[in-house]
């Protein structure tokens, strides 16, 4: 199961400050961002690492617990590398 999606198309992801980095969505266990799990099926070179958490921490809203991401940044090989804040996009 992927991220939680509301009827309006909003995707919710979570970052937890201590293990286990798993939440339940109904009866489905879901790993959170920055989980550090290395087993196949959960491991991810960006979303499963501290780099993901650090990228979110750099955006407006982190201190209040709600970061609004407008875009994911990708490298030339198609790997996620960071985020663009919706607050920054709206201000342009």
| Distance of alpha carbon 79 from alpha carbon 53, whole angstroms | 16
Domain ranges of the chain: 4-91
The pLDDT assigned to 30 comes to: 92
Predicted local confidence at residue 12, as pLDDT: 84
pLDDT at 1: 47
Q: For each successive 10 residues of the chain (92 residues), what is the average pLDDT?
A: 63 91 92 95 95 96 93 95 82 58
Global confidence as pTM: 0.82
In the chain, % helix, strand, coil (3-state, to 5) comes to 20, 25, 55
Q: What is the pLDDT of residue 10?
A: 79
């Amino acid at each position: 199961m992927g991220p939680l999606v509301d009827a309006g198309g909003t995707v919710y992801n979570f970052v937890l400050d201590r293990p286990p980095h798993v939440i339940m969505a109904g009866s489905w266990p879901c790993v959170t961002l920055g989980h550090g799990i290395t087993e196949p099926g959960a491991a991810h070179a960006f979303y499963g690492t501290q780099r993901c958490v650090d990228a979110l921490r750099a955006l407006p809203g982190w201190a209040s617990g709600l970061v609004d991401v407008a875009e994911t940044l990708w490298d030339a090989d198609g790997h996620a590398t960071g985020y663009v804040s919706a607050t920054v996009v709206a201000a342009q």
